Amino acid sequence: MDLKTLKTFQSIVKHRSFNRAAQEMNYVQSTVTMQIQKLEADLGVVLIERGRDFRLTEAGRLFYEQSLQIVKQMEQLQTSITDMRLGDAGHVRLGVTEPTASYRLPAVLGRFMRGSPHIRISLEISGTPYLCERLIGGELDFAVSTAPGLGTELEFEPLLREEFVLLLPEDHPLADREKVETEHLEGHRLLITSATCPYRRKLESAMQEKGNVKLDTMEIGSMTALKFYVESGLGMALVPRIAAEPLTNGMTIRPIGDSLIHMPIGILRKRSDPLPLASRKLYQALKDELTEKTAPG
């Protein structure tokens, strides 16, 4: 039993005629007859009563009703397989860090999914170290994040530079400065992210370069939450410019000196694993979109 035979049988029922079914299917009538005879032999029942008037047997009526759904599902399956082969369908498992997850990706994915509606995307939002583990374990196809540590089996393609600024209240003592250097942070409470955050590690590295500047810190576990804690008067924070703007009343930003001004953001993937076509399609779309939106700095 194959799809062509099922379609032939349905055409016979629709037209109540072997001859008209043969015309619709572009077969000679003998081919249609042979298909039905073989189908009945395979099933071990008679589907169509032979005679002057067309009539389905009880088994024929049951088979016809069930075959409609079978043919529909098989056609959908064929379309899905073709779409997957061409990269127009599939499931992409994407990892992403903040602030890209909240501020850049929604609009980019919206445009992509309107153009590729049959590609399903699962998002995992976390920090770079955890996303690296997921990539190495084969649980993600690729990620948009900061650069991984040295010596990993991952490759990183930078796309943009994340510009950081100091977010603080307008009446803060450092707000009088046009530019804030690392050593100026000493003596003021700085809201920081968790110890595993690459942004925090970069800050701590800069502190050590300046002679181990001591900071009064308060740890906030979410990069995107920092802005709201600054607005509540709990301190100041180094945040991506994209997350700081637009500024709310009473808040201001100042550029940061030294090496804290930016961090590379790019696409991270496992070097040894080829990407499926759907993943490659999203990879290229993200590369095109995010590279065009390179942060200033």
CATH number of the domain that residue 202 is part of: 3.40.190.10
Domain assignment present for 255:
yes
Domain assignment present for 112:
yes
Q: Are residues 184 and 99 part of one domain? A: no
Residues recorded for the chain: 297
Q: Are residues 204 and 170 part of one domain? A: yes
Write out pLDDT tens, residues 198-236. 777 777 777 777 666 677 889 988 888 889 999 999 999
Q: Are residues 269 and 244 part of one domain? A: no
How far, in Å, CA of 297 to CA of 71, rounded? 58
Q: Are residues 54 and 36 part of one domain? A: yes
Amino acid at residue number 92: V
Write out pLDDT tens, residues 69-96. 888 888 777 766 766 666 667 889 999 9
The domain total for the chain is 3
Look up the domain containing 72 and give its range.
3-85
Q: Are residues 128 and 70 part of one domain? A: no
Domain end point (choices 85, 116, 147):
85
Domain assignment present for 111:
yes
Q: Are residues 138 and 274 part of one domain? A: yes
Domain assignment present for 151:
yes
Regions of the chain short of the pLDDT cut 50:
293-297
Q: Are residues 141 and 169 part of one domain? A: no
Q: Are residues 57 and 24 part of one domain? A: yes
Domain end point (choices 41, 68, 85):
85
What's the pLDDT score for residue 86? 61
For 245, the 3-state DSSP assignment is coil
Q: Are residues 273 and 239 part of one domain? A: no
CA geometry: angle 165, 180, 294, nearest 5 deg:
30
CATH of the domain at 10: 1.10.10.10
What's the pLDDT score for residue 297? 41
Write phi, then psi, for 90 (nearest 5 degrees): 140, 180
What's the pLDDT score for residue 53? 82
Write phi, then psi, for 148 (nearest 5 degrees): -80, 175
Q: Are residues 168 and 25 part of one domain? A: no
Instruction: Give 119's contacts (C-beta < 8 A, 6+ positions apart).
Output: 88, 89, 90, 91, 92, 112, 113, 278, 281, 282
What's the pLDDT score for residue 193? 85
Peptide bond before residue 246 is cis, with ω within 30 degrees of 0: yes
Domain assignment present for 275:
yes
Q: Are residues 273 and 204 part of one domain? A: no
Domain assignment present for 297:
no
DSSP letter (8 states) at residue 223:
T
How far, in Å, CA of 292 to CA of 54, rounded? 66
Instruction: Give 196's contacts (C-beta < 8 A, 6+ positions apart).
Output: 127, 129, 130
Rg (CA), the chain: 31
What's the pLDDT score for residue 84? 65
Q: Are residues 47 and 17 part of one domain? A: yes
Domain end point (choices 62, 85, 108):
85
